[in-house]
Amino acid sequence: MAKKATKSKKSRSSSTSAASAKNPSTPSNQKMVLRVKSSEKMKRSAQQSVVSEREKRRTSKSRPKSKQKKKNTRIDAKMPKKPPTAFFYFLEDFRKEFQEQNPDIKSMRDIGRACGEKWKTMTYEEKVKYYDIATEKRAEFDRAMAEYIKRKENGEDQETEDDSEFDE
């Protein structure tokens, strides 16, 4: 699984985000930029919600079943986790409603599938609140990551020995 290693540096780095968080001259501004940036992308993706390329990719490639997850791929337990996307926040809401209406269906496979279909039918106005939450969370994640990198550079890893408990 060399891919894992390669990708580990991917999600880990977020150097660009961290860099942007490094000079928080105006945090709110930064957030605004972030939000606008994402919003534009989101708009596009929402507009062409019909057939996502990802879907085509997925169907054509039939990604390996045992490819993803691996919860313990994170080398450092202290490293901030990637924030959930807008879809995931929607999924939370959707799951509650779905389970109320369909108490028999407990499998996240079915819920996820239903949620995906619903998501595609939603308008941008409906999705925007979830995008908004996700954008804020991502900003938080960027800050946390910048802090994490800073601590690491300061030689914080020495404390990793007691990483079982991170009491502040």
Report the site for DNA in 93-152 (rule: CB under 7 A).
95, 106-109, 111-113, 115-117, 119-120, 131, 134, 138
Nearer to DNA, 111 or 160 (CB): 111
Binding window for DNA (CB under 7 A); candidates: 23-31, 49-57, 147-155, 160-168: 49-57
CB 17 within 8 A of CB 33: no
Q: Is 43 in the site for DNA (CB under 7 A)?
A: no
| Structure-token match 């999600």, residue found | 11
Choosing from 24, 30, 31, 49, the residue that interacts with DNA (CB under 7 A) is 49
Count of residues near DNA by CB under 7 A: 64
d(CA 76, CA 68): 18
* CB atoms inside a 10 Å sphere around CB 127: 21
Nearest by Cα to 140 from 60, 61, 70, 82: 82
Cβ distance 31 to 139 under 8 Å?
yes
Is 13 within 8 Å of 145 (Cβ atoms)?
Answer: no
Binding site for DNA (CB under 7 A): 1, 3-4, 6-11, 13-17, 38, 41-42, 45-46, 49, 52-55, 57-58, 61, 63, 65-74, 81-88, 91-92, 95, 106-109, 111-113, 115-117, 119-120, 131, 134, 138
